[in-house]
Amino acid sequence: MYPDFNEAIQCELLLWLGRLACAGANRLTESPATCRQTSTLYNCSMCDKQLPRRSQTSPITDTDSNGLISNLANLSKLPQLHRLGKPRVAAMLAIERALRHCEEQAHLDLTASVLGQCCLQALRSSSRDLRIAAGYDTSTYSARTSLTASRHTLPSFLRIDLDDVTLRRNRVSALDFLRNLSEKSELASQETCILAWGQIARYVDAFSAPGLARF
């Protein structure tokens, strides 16, 4: 993937790909806090909020959303990307942004969509950075500063503005996935489960998802 570019440039390109969704939703603004020529020069007024984002409020058009997500889905399946460390994390962050601005329910099905499977696969990864980007909110990858700011992908599938069938299916799938993952004895799996459960708790209350209380 982008063999003529070094790793840092590959990451920048992937991060900008995610910000196309923010731009398409008219949410991308220039940040006055920096003048560096990096993707952090622009922030999304929705995606870059530090508070939990239980719902999506600024979608891009279906045509733009489908095209962007189709490209990200194709990228996520490239064998070359799976062999790369930081670019794979950057791709996961781009996926998170695209999903935040997406209304198409087919793309937001955790178990049936390509990007949902990509997220679940990342939660099982040996890369801690990738698991962080996929599942929980402690820090994230930035192309130039490594782990810095809050991002996460799994909660994108738990937004309260999804239709009832998709939302319930996603909640059950996420809890079942983490329950199965928690049975593994590896320390990495245990860390993923603990922090991912914390993320789910921020988006799903015990009343609407009784299975969460059993954990």
Segment 130-163, tens digit of pLDDT: 887 786 543 333 433 343 334 568 888 988 888 9
Give the residue among 97, 83, 68, 103 at the shortest CA–CA distance from 3: 83
Mean pLDDT, all residues of the chain: 76
Predicted confidence (pLDDT) per residue in 61-83, tens digit: 655 677 888 888 888 888 777 77
- Whether the per-residue pLDDT at 25 is higher than 60: the answer is yes
- Length of the chain measured in residues: 215
Residue 125 or residue 149, greater confidence = 125
In sequence order, what are the residues at sequence separation of 6 or more whose Cβ sits closer than 8 angstroms to the Cβ of residue 51?
none
State the SS3 of 89-117: HHHHHHHHHHHHCCCCHHHHCCCCCHHHH
* Residues 128, 129, 131, 132, Cα dihedral to 10°: 120
**Mean pLDDT within 206-214:** 49
Q: Where are the domains of the chain?
A: 7-213
